[in-house]
Amino acid sequence: MADRTERQAGATIHAGGEWLTAISGATREILDPADGRPFAVVAEGDEKDAERAVTAARHAFDHGPWPRTPVAERAALLRRVAGLLLRDRETLGLLESRDAGKTVEEGRVDIDCVADAFRYFADLVAAEAPGRVIDAGSPDIHSVVVHEPVGVCALITPWNYPLLQASWKIAPALAAGNTFVIKPSEITPLTTVALIGLLTEAGLPAGVANLVTGPGHTVGARLAEHPDVDLVSFTGGLASGTKVAQAAAPTVKKVALELGGKNPNVVFADACATEEGFDTAVDQALNAAFIHSGQVCSAGSRLIVEESVRDRFVTELARRAQRIRLGRGTEDGVECGPLVSEQQRAKVEAYVASALAEGAVLRCGGKQPAPAAARPESGWFYEPTVLDACHREMKVVREEVFGPVLTVETFRTEEEAVLLANDTEYGLAGAVWSADTARARRVAARLRHGTVWINDFHPYLPQAEWGGFGRSGTGRELGPAGLAEYRETKHVYENLAPRPVRWFAG
């Protein structure tokens, strides 16, 4: 691990099995969100570096062994990677904390989930049947549907969960026999660089895994449009996702988009009828909104609570939100870290200001915290914020804030709750809280969101599909569908007793 960390200072582009500097010689400093200071240097690639990486991936797919490697061997390599991830769990968790601003504990949990993803796709592909036989109605015909790798995959990942999102793409792509070029966010690339090192250590052939560190408008744009790329998988914001789809369209390549969310957390009064139920619903509302400072695509940023319990619920929620301990993620006792960048904090501040101008009531937060020992003044911290008396016309309710901001809306009837929850351009995730099982399931069935939790928020299973409705995206990750994204389907029809057809005389 030490060798890979040292290498990041000079050469973080990986192409054809070699660690390289940017062709231009450009570099970028990686800043610690907790104090705004640089702590690492990476290569700043551009279109030429993307071209070099795609060429390597194309050659490895067309001429290398990986697409033709037996499934059992591919699965065994993925399991070795999972073991290496757990071996380096502490180092990687710390690196993820410093890079993205999250707490070390969150970083450790992320590494565990990454290892789970690699193990899951190893088990999934290893257990599959070799093909689906179709009965053609004749003993002389053998007809089978088989799956083949797509080819060269361009994988573009976001800054909030750098390694986790990378694993959701890399593990199924490798399991299916593809080669790839990955472009992590230019502001949080370090654990992805480390992962490529682990893939190499596990024995992945040269050219299968390629990495370009650099910005989206150069590296990402070239990958999306490149004619030798067969699939592009993007996780990020709606605006960038739209550009990726447009760039990919002329070559009609496969596109998987996992975009943003504006996720409702619907709380019925009966969920709060007991003290335990009330405490659980409040606790989960806090987790939904403020984990990783709200920088989560599935964050429960819209609390939609039944009017009869609204005052008590929001009062307790705000009281507890004010007590969340902010600070550097590597410090003991810290519960929430900084925002990822100064620009992101400014964006959050602008959303809160617009909400207050439109009539929202500030129940807590709404400002930068005072400096403290674990919270340097130069860090990009922002207090957990609860905005009451919100309505659908407000910008803060319609648009994805991606910060520690929770809006509160109220309803009186089940029908109104469903209408409010579905009144969004997005459709990524949502939750329903009710002691009435029939009602909870009824409401969940009516929500137009890709994942719906009942009496819970945020858990996901590697075996389940992850994706959204509406403007939350078009692709699916995790589960069998996540593997299917990285495959083509072929029908092989074999005539065991060929003979003349005699359609025409002669």
State the sign of the Cα–Cα–Cα–Cα dihedral 302, 307, 313, 315.
positive
- The rounded distance, in Å, linking the Cα atoms of 469 and 450 is 6
Residue 200 structure tokens: 């190499």
- The rounded distance, in Å, linking the Cα atoms of 226 and 374 is 45
Catalytic site residue 336? no
DSSP line for 455-484: S--S---TTS-B--SGGGBS--BSHHHHHH
Q: Which of 258, 306, 316, 485 is catalytic?
A: 258
- The rounded distance, in Å, linking the Cα atoms of 26 and 430 is 42
Measure the N-to-C terminal CA separation of the chain; round to a whole number of Å: 73
- The rounded distance, in Å, linking the Cα atoms of 132 and 130 is 7
Q: Taking CA 71 as the corner, what is the angle to CA 68 and CA 75, rounded to the nearest 5 degrees?
A: 125
- The rounded distance, in Å, linking the Cα atoms of 302 and 405 is 9
Calculate the dihedral angle through the C-alpha atoms of 321, 326, 329, 333, rounding to the nearest 10 degrees: -80
Q: Are 338 and 381 contacting, i.e. CB atoms less than 8 angstroms apart?
A: yes
Please state the φ and ψ torsions of residue 19, each to the nearest 5 degrees.
Answer: -90, 130
Q: Which of 153, 272, 297, 364 is catalytic?
A: 297
Relative to beta strand 405-411, strand 487-495 is unpaired
- The rounded distance, in Å, linking the Cα atoms of 440 and 46 is 50
For residue 391, the SS3 value is coil
- The rounded distance, in Å, linking the Cα atoms of 264 and 499 is 63
Residue 439 CA, chain-centre distance (Å), reads 30
**SS3 assignment for 190-227:** HHHHHHHHHHHHCCCCCCCEEECCCCHHHHHHHHHHCC
Contacts of 295 (CB under 8 A, 6+ apart): 160, 339, 340, 344, 402, 403
Catalytic site residue 153? no
Q: Where are the alpha helices (DSSP H) in 359-503?
A: 395-398, 414-422, 437-446, 479-484
Question: Nearest to residue 111, comparing CAs of 163, 36, 71, 158?
Answer: 163
For residue 331, the SS3 value is coil
Active site residues: 258, 297
